[in-house]
Amino acid sequence: MMYWGGGMGGWGMVLMTVSTLLFWGLIIAGVAALVRSTSRSAPQGGPGAEVATPEHILAERFARGEIDEEEYTRRLAVLGFAVKTRSGG
């Protein structure tokens, strides 16, 4: 059997190696990107979660005991809400 030429030269081997590494690198990067995009969880609270309004945040702070009733009613008044207090006044 007769062969034409000396086969693949040194640059051919380098080019083949680089292209193979590039090919598999792109395949692995694509799979990783696909996995990352599909495994992202929904935002905190999930879909339809309430947006935290200033009144809601204030009510949470009052419920946790971070502020007292006087502070709570004062801040609600500043925010423009009519507040009914327990003490008739």
Could you tell me the two tokens for 63? 């419920």
Residue 52: predicted pLDDT: 79
Task: Say which residue, 81 or 37, is predicted with more confidence.
Answer: 37
Name every residue whose Cβ is closer than 8 Å to that of residue 62 and which is 6 or more positions away in sequence: 69, 72
Question: Is the pTM for the entire model greater than 0.75?
Answer: no
Is there a contact between 25 and 17 (Cβ–Cβ < 8 Å)? no
30: pLDDT strictly greater than 60: yes
Residue 38: predicted pLDDT: 87
Dihedral over alpha carbons 33, 37, 40, 42 (to 10 degrees):
170
Residue 64: predicted pLDDT: 92
Name every residue whose Cβ is closer than 8 Å to that of residue 49 and which is 6 or more positions away in sequence: 43
Residue 12: predicted pLDDT: 82
Could you tell me the two tokens for 13? 């081997």
47: pLDDT strictly greater than 90: no
